[in-house]
Amino acid sequence: MIGNIEFRESCKGLDWTELEALFVSAKLDHRRGPKQRRAFENSGRVCLAYDEGRLVGVCRAITDGEYHAFIYDVAVHPDWQGRGLGKALMRRLLSRLPVWRIMLVADEEVQGFYRRLGFALYGDVMALRDRSKLEEAEPLSDDVKAGR
């Protein structure tokens, strides 16, 4: 299925431009530049998948380690999708979250993927949202703007 995939559980050595390119290929917006790097570095858990040194999948979670966790940024490169990699990444992440409630936000078209992992809709969730905070407070570097 997914062959010789290497899984890593740390951001150490992560090429942030490669991560950004993965999000672009997986069509996940608003994951750019230093803001994205800080978000990953500040996450309690990350799981990265490499195929022969190339970053092909990712997910991350923030957690208190005791009761709660929230999963974000689950992405598999399109050329690696449909081969069990997303499930493998999620299972590794879930195995490191020994908490009673794990939450995530999923568009309708991917809910089936999470249902297979045991997730279900959870009706009484509320959120406070401020889209202005999605953007980088500081300007993006020329490298990031150029996609390097």
Ligand X SMILES: CC(C)(COP(=O)(O)OP(=O)(O)OC[C@H]1O[C@@H](n2cnc3c(N)ncnc32)[C@H](O)[C@@H]1OP(=O)(O)O)[C@@H](O)C(=O)NCCC(=O)NCCS
Residue nearer to ligand X on the CB measure, 116 or 148:
116
Q: CA 61 to CA 24: how far, in whole Å?
A: 20
The alpha carbon torsion through 127, 137, 69, 130 (nearest 10 deg) reads 0
State yes or no: residue 25 binds ligand X (CB under 6 A): no
Task: Establish if 26 lies at the interface with ligand X (CB under 6 A).
Answer: yes
Query: Does the footprint of ligand X cover residue 109 (CB under 6 A)?
Result: yes
Select the span of 31-39, 60-68, 102-110, 123-131 touching ligand X (CB under 6 A). Answer: 102-110
Closest separation in Å from C-beta 71 to ligand X = 8
Of 4-12, 21-29, 38-46, 131-139, which part binds ligand X (CB under 6 A)? 21-29
- Residues 36, 19: Cα–Cα separation, whole Å: 9
From 110, 139, 143, 148, residue interacting with ligand X (rule: CB under 6 A): 110
Cβ neighbours around 35 below 10 Å, total: 16
Neighbours of 94 (CB within 10 A): 20
- The C-alpha atoms of residue 12 and residue 27 are separated, in whole angstroms, by 24
Cβ(5)–Cβ(51) below 8 Å: yes
Each residue 49-88 as x (binds ligand X by CB under 6 A) or -, in order, gives: -------------------------xxx----xxxxxxx-
Residues lying near ligand X in the complex (CB under 6 A) are found at 26-28, 74-76, 81-87, 106, 109-110, 112-113, 116
